[in-house]
Amino acid sequence: MRRVQETDITAVVDLVRDLAEYERLTHEFEMTPDQLRVALFGPEPALFGHVAEVDGEVVGFTLWFLSFSTFRGTHGIYLEDLFVRPEHRGSGLGRALLTELAEECVRRGYARLEWSVLDWNAPSIGFYKSLGAAPRDGWTVFRLTDDALTTLGRGEGHPPGDA
Active site residues: 128
The DSSP element (H or E) to which 77 belongs, if any, is strand 74-84
Residues 133, 72, 40, 53: is their CA dihedral positive or negative? negative
Contacts of 26 (CB under 8 A, 6+ apart): 17, 20
The DSSP element (H or E) to which 94 belongs, if any, is helix 93-108
In the three-class reduction of DSSP (H, G, I as helix; E, B as strand; rest coil), residue 142 is classed as coil
Contacts of 113 (CB under 8 A, 6+ apart): 76, 77, 79, 98, 101, 102, 105
Instruction: Kindly report the backbone phi and psi dihedral angles of residue 84, in degrees, each rounded to the nearest multiple of 5, phi listed first.
Output: -130, 135
The rounded distance, in Å, linking the Cα atoms of 26 and 17 is: 7
